[in-house]
Amino acid sequence: MDTIECAENPIAKVSIHVPSPSRDVSEKMTKTPEEELMTVEEYFGILRKRVNEHYDNL
């Protein structure tokens, strides 16, 4: 990662980290297989169940 320093005002010095162009981020990222993904309905069903269980225990 490269660092770019912006120092027009020496009192307020800011460092910005920029990804190095030599690294390809897309190669490191892997996609989850389609059969392991859950639908929106499944996700919110599980979330709703957890919320209801939490409030039942209060």
Tens of pLDDT, residues 14-48: 666 666 666 555 666 778 888 889 999 999 999 99
**Is residue 47 within 8 Å of residue 53, measured between CB atoms?**
no
Cα dihedral sign, 48-50-51-53: positive
Residues 1-12 have pLDDT tens digits of 555 555 565 555
The H or E element containing residue 9 is: none
Tell whether pTM > 0.75: no
Q: Is the pLDDT of residue 57 over 80?
A: yes
Q: What is the pLDDT of residue 42?
A: 96
